């Protein structure tokens, strides 16, 4: 008879064994994911505190292991808010320890990507990690060299130094080794940074790659979007386990009326009273009485009522941080120099109690990549470019199912669509955060935005076609009208008239001298 053996895994050991869940699948994808995760943390550390990001990334090849794998040194420096000394080892040396475990829009979703990148580096190179950080207005700079104790899920400190912060520098530097294959992921990393610069014209991004190439994405504005705000859960955005957790973590002497008004988003006293009457639960009942009642189904009844009651206000979008129409347009012009660009920002909406905003843009010509007539899609979620698994994304589905015969677009070059969704909870389909699920509410808003953009693009295309036809007609007039005037004057025995004024009137009528504005 076989006797089963049981053991417990620490969070670090679980993700060590299952690193594919976080996008660390092979040397090339892992290198891309490490750069992306740490870069996103750097951007958030700046934007959340209203600091125009200035981020330096240096990737150097240290040792070639084989034709497919090398050891690289990855150095990332930002000018963000820094990490408080007491949280440095927890934030970067402990799995599932993060500042992102609150309800707020952020680039990170699971709060483990940065630490997972460091863990991946450690298990592939057996080298320690160096972190340097100083908070805003700090008089000290703290430097830790550590490895991650996988079994105990904590940082194992090798060295610690504290320096005087004479220059009042603030930010974080991460310096570590990892395995990768840059040649296979070179294009993706550069595209990721370029596409981020497209929607963040307020960021200064510098990347020096292992081949010594220098990529610089210049800041063109210092105006940042408003930072996102922490919020409370909406009644429609919780499940029964979250409700239980909220109840157990609240003051047991709090009444249910107080619980609803204090713990939920946009639930005031009047709405709470109406809801409790709908749920047939007394508002003066305390949490202690609810948890200790002999009616075990009372909590479940409360939960079902929270889900089904339609009198709650929709979640507010004021807590979100969209790109903004001006910044979106400026970034596209900065990076792609298109002939035409238009941006649409949809009104806020919600799904399952989570507010979201869809921003979309269309651009044509200039440096838009692709061939004549090609449709190019750029996808973003909470200001993150999504480069993989495009075919599974809701935006791709919408563009594929559109009736293109109803619209007109220029066919002498590619047309690009930029789709961005920001939310407190983006409906990703996987831990790798590469494509968005086709949630009906989200799908509807994206489709409405795309159709609005296409109507504007159709008007532009007709203007362009009208201009081309006018130029063609004017060419005929310019060629033959002077001759017709001369022959007619000779037949009539008169002096040939000056036809330049007539041609000028034709030019004015068709506006062929005027450029169609971007």
The rounded Cα 475 to chain-centroid distance in angstroms is 49
Domain 11-217: CATH architecture, name and number where available = 2-Layer Sandwich (3.30)
Q: How far is CA 495 from CA 266, 498, 502, 504, in A?
A: 83, 9, 17, 21
How does strand 354-364 pair with strand 349-351?
Answer: antiparallel
| pLDDT per residue as tens digits for the range 321-368 | 999 999 999 999 999 999 999 999 999 998 888 899 999 999 999 999
Rg (CA), the chain: 30
pLDDT of residue 133: 96
pTM: 0.84
Question: For 21-41, b where at least 16 C-beta lie within 10 A, e where not — what string?
Answer: bbbbeebbbbbbbbbbbbbbb
**CB atoms < 10 A from the CB of 518, how many?**
17
Which of 265, 246, 393, 388 is closest to 317 using CA atoms? Answer: 265
pLDDT of residue 515: 40
Which distant-in-sequence residues (6+ apart) come within 8 Å of 126 by Cβ?
none
Cβ atoms 74, 34 nearer than 8 A: yes
Q: d(Cα 444, Cα 88) in Å, to the nearest integer?
A: 42
Do 11-217 and 235-308 have matching folds? Answer: no
Question: For 50-80, b where at least 16 C-beta lie within 10 A, e where not — what string?
Answer: ebbbbbbbebeeeeeeeeebbbbbbbbbbbb
pLDDT of residue 375: 94
Cβ atoms 23, 160 nearer than 8 A: no
% of the chain surpassing 70 pLDDT: 87
Query: In the numeric block, which tokens belong to residue 68?
Result: 């497919």
Q: d(Cα 123, Cα 127) in Å, to the nearest integer?
A: 8
Instruction: State the Cα angle at 273 between 271 and 278, rounded to 5°.
Output: 95
Q: d(Cα 98, Cα 90) in Å, to the nearest integer?
A: 8
User: How many helices (DSSP H) and strands (DSSP E) are in the chain?
Assistant: 14, 14
Strand, coil or helix: 307: helix
Beta bridge mates, 26: none
Instruction: Say if domain 235-308 classifies as CATH 3.40.630.30.
Output: no
Enumerate the domain spans of the chain. Answer: 11-217, 235-308, 325-460, 467-510
Cβ atoms 202, 53 nearer than 8 A: yes
**CB atoms < 10 A from the CB of 295, how many?**
9
Strand, coil or helix: 383: coil
pLDDT of residue 516: 39
Domain 325-460: CATH architecture, name and number where available = 2-Layer Sandwich (3.30)
Query: In the numeric block, which tokens belong to residue 411?
Result: 């066919």
Q: d(Cα 130, Cα 146) in Å, to the nearest integer?
A: 7
pLDDT of residue 151: 86
pLDDT of residue 1: 66
pLDDT of residue 389: 86
pLDDT of residue 490: 74
Cβ atoms 97, 119 nearer than 8 A: no
Strand, coil or helix: 146: strand
**CB atoms < 10 A from the CB of 128, how many?**
20
Q: d(Cα 239, Cα 299) in Å, to the nearest integer?
A: 12
Q: Which alpha helices (H) appear in 207-292, and where do they start and end?
A: 240-248, 256-263, 269-279, 287-292
Beta bridge mates, 55: 205
Q: What is the pLDDT along the chain (518 residues), one digit of tens a residue?
A: 676 666 666 666 766 666 666 667 889 999 999 999 999 999 999 998 999 999 999 999 999 999 999 999 999 999 999 999 999 999 898 876 666 556 677 776 555 678 889 999 999 999 999 999 999 999 999 999 999 998 888 899 999 999 999 999 999 999 999 999 999 999 999 999 999 999 999 999 999 999 999 999 999 999 999 988 888 999 998 889 999 999 999 999 999 999 999 999 999 999 999 999 999 999 899 999 888 876 678 889 999 999 999 999 988 889 899 999 999 999 999 999 999 999 999 999 988 888 999 999 999 999 999 999 999 999 999 999 999 888 889 999 999 999 998 999 988 889 999 999 999 888 887 666 788 988 899 999 999 999 999 999 999 898 877 777 666 766 766 676 777 777 777 777 777 777 777 667 666 665 544 443 44
Q: How far is CA 363 from CA 200, 300, 375, 376, in A?
A: 17, 50, 10, 10
Beta bridge mates, 205: 55, 217
């Amino acid at each position: 008879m076989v006797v089963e053996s049981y053991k417990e895994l620490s969070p670090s050991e679980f993700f060590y064994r299952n690193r594919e869940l976080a996008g660390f699948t092979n040397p090339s994808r892992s290198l891309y994911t490490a750069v992306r995760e740490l870069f996103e943390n750097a951007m958030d550390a700046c934007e959340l505190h209203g600091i125009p990001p200035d981020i330096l990334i240096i990737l150097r090849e240290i040792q070639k292991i084989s034709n497919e794998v090398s050891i690289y040194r990855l150095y990332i420096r930002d000018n963000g808010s820094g990490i408080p000394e007491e949280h440095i080892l927890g934030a970067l040396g402990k799995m599932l320890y993060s500042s992102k475990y609150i309800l707020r829009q952020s680039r990170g979703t699971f709060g483990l990507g940065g630490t997972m990148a460091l863990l991946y580096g450690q298990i592939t190179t057996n080298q320690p990690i160096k972190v340097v950080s100083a908070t805003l207005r700090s008089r000290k700079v703290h430097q830790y060299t550590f490895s991650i104790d996988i079994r105990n899920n904590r940082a194992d400190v090798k060295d610690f130094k504290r320096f005087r912060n004479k220059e009042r520098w603030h930010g974080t530097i991460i310096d570590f080794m990892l395995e990768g294959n840059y040649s296979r992921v070179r294009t993706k990393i550069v595209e990721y940074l370029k596409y981020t610069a497209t929607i963040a014209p307020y960021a200064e991004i510098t990347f020096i790659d292992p081949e010594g190439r220098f990529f610089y994405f210049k800041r063109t504005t210092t105006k940042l979007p408003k930072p996102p705000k922490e919020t409370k859960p909406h009644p429609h955005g919780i499940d029964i386990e979250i409700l239980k957790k909220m109840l157990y973590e609240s003051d047991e002497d709090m009444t249910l009326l107080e619980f609803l008004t204090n713990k939920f988003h946009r639930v005031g006293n009047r709405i709470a009273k109406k809801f409790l009457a709908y749920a047939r639960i007394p508002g003066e009942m305390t949490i202690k009485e609810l948890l200790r009642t002999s009616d075990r189904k009372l909590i479940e009844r409360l939960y079902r009522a929270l889900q089904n009651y339609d009198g709650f206000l929709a979640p507010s979008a004021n807590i979100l941080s969209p790109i903004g129409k001006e910044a979106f347009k400026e970034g596209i012009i900065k990076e792609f120099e298109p002939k035409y660009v238009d941006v649409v920002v949809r009104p806020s909406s919600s799904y399952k109690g989570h507010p979201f905003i869809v921003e979309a843009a269309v651009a044509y010509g200039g440096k838009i990549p692709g061939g004549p007539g090609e449709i190019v899609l750029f996808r973003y979620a909470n200001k993150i470019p999504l480069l993989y698994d495009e075919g599974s994304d809701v935006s791709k589905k919408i563009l594929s199912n559109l009736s293109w015969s109803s619209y007109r677009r220029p066919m002498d070059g590619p047309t690009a669509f930029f789709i961005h969704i920001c939310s407190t909870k983006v409906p990703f389909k996987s831990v790798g955060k590469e494509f968005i699920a086709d949630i009906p509410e989200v799908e509807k808003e994206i489709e409405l935005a795309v159709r609005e953009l296409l109507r504007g693009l159709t008007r532009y295309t007709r203007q362009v076609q009208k201009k081309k036809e006018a130029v063609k007609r004017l060419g005929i007039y310019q060629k033959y009208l002077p001759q017709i005037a001369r022959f007619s004057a000779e037949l009539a025995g008169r002096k040939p008239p000056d036809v330049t004024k007539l041609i000028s009137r034709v030019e004015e009528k068709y506006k062929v001298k005027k450029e169609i504005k971007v």
